[in-house]
Amino acid sequence: MATPLLFRRIIRASTIATLATVLALALSFFLTPTPSLYGSKTFSSAVYDRHGQLLRLTLAEDQRYRLFTPLSAIQPAAIEATLLYEDRWFRYHPGINPVALVRASWQTFVTRQRSVGASTISMQLARMRFSIDSSSIGGKLAQIYRALQLEWHYSKTDILEAYLNLAPYGGNIEGLGTASLIYFNKNADALTLIESLSLIVIPQNPLARAPVHSNASPNDHARNDDVAIDARQRAFALWLTRHPDDAHWSDQMQLALHTRRRQQLPFSAPHFVDHLLAKNGPGSWHSSLDQQQQQQIEQQILEYVLNRKADGIDNAAVLLIDTRDTSVAAWAGSANWFNNDIHGQVDGVTAKRSPGSTLKPFIYAQALDQGLIHPQSLLADLPTRFGAYTPENFDRGYFGPISAQDALIYSRNVPAVALANQLNPDFYTFLDSAGITPLRERDFYGLAIALGGVEVTMLELSQLYASLANDGEAYPIALTLDDAAPRPGTRLFSKEAAFITSSMLAENPRPFTSSHLRHNKLTNKEPVTVAWKTGTSWAFRDAWSVGLFGHYLVAVWVGNFDGSGNPALVGSTAAAPLLFRIVDQLSATTNIESVNNSLRGTRIGGLNVKKVSVCAASGDLPNKHCPKTKSTWYIPGTSPIRVSSVHQQVQIDENGLRSCHLNNPRNTTKVMEFWPSDFLALFKLAGLPHKQPPAYAPGCALSDIDQQGIAPRIQSPSARVEYTLRANQGAENKIPLQAVTDAGAQTVFWFADNRFIASAKATETVEWSPKPGRYVVRAVDDLGHSDSVNVTVRLLPEG
């Protein structure tokens, strides 16, 4: 009796244990957190050019090519064929196929016949997702459990999508979309029927059916091709059961397809792709870059640095922007990404460098908006001290009087600094609003900011220049087609200032290069107009050239990433030739005829600009005595337009002096040039001395003197400066008195609070030794004109 009782107790205990186990499994099945379909698996990134050409496919973190492809982006025939070949009852079973499981178990474990697969797509996904070894009974049970769990938590569509993204397609390639891109160089939604069937048979036996390594032997290629074709034909036979009309594919199904190997994947525009992925993160990105133009520019750089190797030039960076949407069309960060000798993996497009004179156009654009100049305004190019800063020109020489347009074209430093000194808001504020970052405090740069004292990236510089082509508005530079969609910009200056600045830069004559001749021979037409500027940084470390033509902007940098200088690194001779090689090649292969209209003065619709004739000598409106005029753009209501007073008609008596008796028959009438004293000094400095008008004849009273001309302009002292006297320096405490006078003025009289200080010739400087206090300093010329300024002088205590 004991034995049956013991047996019943064992049965009861086993039943309770079994029920507890089932209950525990059931609870874990329903109560455990929803398992992720992909777990910790990461995905590859794919970057395409604007035409859909693959630039790079990256590896996932586990060194596999695994590109996420939504089900909607996969050819429907490939999806249907996968279900037909792998799991035709997928839409109906709960994750496992009981009939197939029983049949497979019977043949595998009872009759010991050939193993028959019974894994559904859900089970295959569970095995891949949870890394299950399903070769044992325990592993198979775990696979079944996980498959049921996935089916409970996810839709059939989610499970099928995950399977098609994780299934093996040979080597380290996972996912049908990845395989389509690697093997056939196309997206999965563009697969043909034969390509679809070639792919869907691989997961069952990736080693035998996937295209082999490019270095494999011919026998290996032939063997895999035969196995793959045999499997594809079986899949095609299944396909014909549902699609008999596709029988015309039969002959092609017997042929091996040409496929690309992993080792043949492109590695294009590496600096650009690195920057895009660092900025946007992993994913599939359709960039704005044009692969053909990228290759053209890379080839031009390689040829150029090879030709200039004797000059020590071996590296360059180029950025091509489509100004219509401010998107990147080409991006070459160095001459050779793989060359470690030039630090080729450093990106010259994003590196901070001194821009030299390339920022000057934006000083002129600000000056145009603030009413300081128009293109023919005369500026002074002479040695000038701005506080403690004394800028020099690149050639160490001075032009004297020069028009604003010529000062910009010839990149004169002194006029640019003088204009920057007058800007309000200043140039620092402009750069800050333009997004140049990071900027140090304003006083760190001073006026040197106008000449490249602040470092910028090529991206930042290109965004500034693109604003000239976009009516003064700056837009973030787009890397992808989505980024290039219409978006808000930042207004940097008026569209009128943008137009006039571009027009001035377009007058800069292009350097004569061999590419000029080559372009003419290829196209049988004159090169396009380019609005361009160069820059050279201090110590010849960076050579720049930036140009606008048609709907493109090209920025070129030539230099060394280690910061070493080279006398050959001059913008006009090192960077400009490469810029024009690129311009000429692009203009020969791209329709950019609109450039001439946009830069030669016909882009005036909707602009508040007009052309006006000005006196060629002064840049002001011509009076009746001006002998020669030229046209210039101006902004009505803003530009400084006044009537020129340089050419004046005077009466000369028999002694060669100016007569104050205008009706004297012995007088002769002459038209003479009356230049202010500062410009007379400029002409003399430039080696172009001008004859001054003669003095008035003795006995002429002020009431008899012609009151044409300009009043004195006091240059020193300045109301903006508080002057300090040092108690222990005595006679050395002197302030210079200097004024710009009319050409007809001979003498200037200086007063402090109506107390006479001294008199001097109009071109001379007087030294004044004041005491601490506040003064009204006045300059009066011998023609009766005057100017005054309030001056503060304080005493600095000893010690």
Mean pLDDT of 224-251: 94
Tokens of 532: 């361009």
Cβ neighbors of 438 (< 8 A, separation 6 or more) are: none
Q: Kindly tell me if the per-residue pLDDT of 109 is higher than 90.
A: no
∠ CA(61), CA(66), CA(69), 5° rounding?
A: 135
Q: Kindly tell me if the per-residue pLDDT of 711 is higher than 60.
A: yes
For 335-370, the pLDDT digits (tens) are 999 999 999 999 999 999 999 999 999 999 999 999
d(CA 188, CA 68): 11
The pLDDT-based confidence of 594 (bands split at 50, 70, 90) is very low
Q: What pLDDT, on a 0 to 100 scale, did the predictor assign at position 546?
A: 98
From its phi and psi, is residue 696 left (phi > 0), alpha (psi between -120 and 50) or beta?
Answer: beta
What is the chain's alpha carbon radius of gyration, rounded to the nearest angstrom?
41
Q: Amino acid letter at 585?
A: Q
Cβ neighbors of 567 (< 8 A, separation 6 or more) are: 540
For 145-200, the pLDDT digits (tens) are 999 999 999 999 999 999 999 999 999 999 999 999 999 999 999 999 999 999 99
Window from 33-42, 537-546, 547-556 with minimum mean pLDDT? 33-42
From its phi and psi, is residue 745 left (phi > 0), alpha (psi between -120 and 50) or beta?
Answer: beta
Between 798 and 58, name the one with better pLDDT: 58
Which percentage of the chain shows pLDDT scores above 70? 87
Q: Kindly tell me if the per-residue pLDDT of 583 is higher than 70.
A: yes
For 385-426, the pLDDT digits (tens) are 665 566 777 777 777 789 999 999 999 999 999 999 999 999
Q: What pLDDT, on a 0 to 100 scale, did the predictor assign at position 666?
A: 86
Q: What pLDDT, on a 0 to 100 scale, did the predictor assign at position 748?
A: 94
Q: Kindly tell me if the per-residue pLDDT of 29 is higher than 90.
A: no
Give SS3 for 532.
strand
Q: Kindly tell me if the per-residue pLDDT of 317 is higher than 50.
A: yes
Determine the longest span between alpha carbons in the chain, in angstroms: 163
Is the bond leading into 717 cis (omega within 30 degrees of zero)? yes
Mean pLDDT of 653-658: 88
For 449-462, the pLDDT digits (tens) are 999 999 999 999 99
Mean pLDDT of 502-509: 96
Between 483 and 721, name the one with better pLDDT: 483
Q: Kindly tell me if the per-residue pLDDT of 442 is higher than 60.
A: yes
Q: What pLDDT, on a 0 to 100 scale, did the predictor assign at position 271?
A: 98
Pairing of strands 722-726, 400-403: unpaired
Q: Amino acid letter at 264?
A: Q
Which percentage of the chain shows pLDDT scores above 90? 65
Task: Please tell me the pTM assigned to this model.
Answer: 0.85
Mean pLDDT of 494-498: 97
How many other CB atoms sit within 10 Å of the CB of residue 727? 12
Q: What pLDDT, on a 0 to 100 scale, did the predictor assign at position 600?
A: 41
Q: How many residues does the chain have?
A: 799
Q: Kindly tell me if the per-residue pLDDT of 543 is higher than 80.
A: yes
Mean pLDDT of the chain: 88
Q: How far is CA 77 from CA 204, 253, 449, in A?
A: 18, 15, 63
Window from 83-92, 297-306, 524-533 with minimum mean pLDDT? 524-533
Q: Amino acid letter at 159?
A: I
Burial (Cβ within 10 Å: 0-12, 13-18, ≥19) of residue 467: buried
Query: In this structure, what are the phi and psi dihedrals at residue 759, rounded to the nearest 5 degrees?
Result: -125, 155
Q: What pLDDT, on a 0 to 100 scale, did the predictor assign at position 513?
A: 58
Q: How far is CA 174 from CA 26, 203, 323, 424, 487, in A?
A: 33, 9, 39, 61, 37
The pLDDT-based confidence of 590 (bands split at 50, 70, 90) is confident
Q: Are 333 and 347 in contact (CB under 8 A)?
A: yes
Q: What pLDDT, on a 0 to 100 scale, did the predictor assign at position 51?
A: 96
Burial (Cβ within 10 Å: 0-12, 13-18, ≥19) of residue 606: exposed
d(CA 407, CA 375): 9
Q: What pLDDT, on a 0 to 100 scale, did the predictor assign at position 688?
A: 75
Q: Kindly tell me if the per-residue pLDDT of 87 is higher than 50.
A: yes
Q: Amino acid letter at 482?
A: D
The pLDDT-based confidence of 598 (bands split at 50, 70, 90) is very low
The pLDDT-based confidence of 222 (bands split at 50, 70, 90) is low
Q: What pLDDT, on a 0 to 100 scale, did the predictor assign at position 622?
A: 94
Query: In this structure, what are the phi and psi dihedrals at residue 261, rounded to the nearest 5 degrees?
Result: -95, 160
Q: What pLDDT, on a 0 to 100 scale, did the predictor assign at position 601?
A: 42
Q: What pLDDT, on a 0 to 100 scale, did the predictor assign at position 523?
A: 56
For 713-766, the pLDDT digits (tens) are 898 888 877 888 877 666 667 888 989 888 778 899 999 998 999 999 887 889
Dump the DSSP string for 537-589. -GGG-EEEEEEEETTEEEEEEEE-TT----TT--IIIIIHHHHHHHHHHHHHH
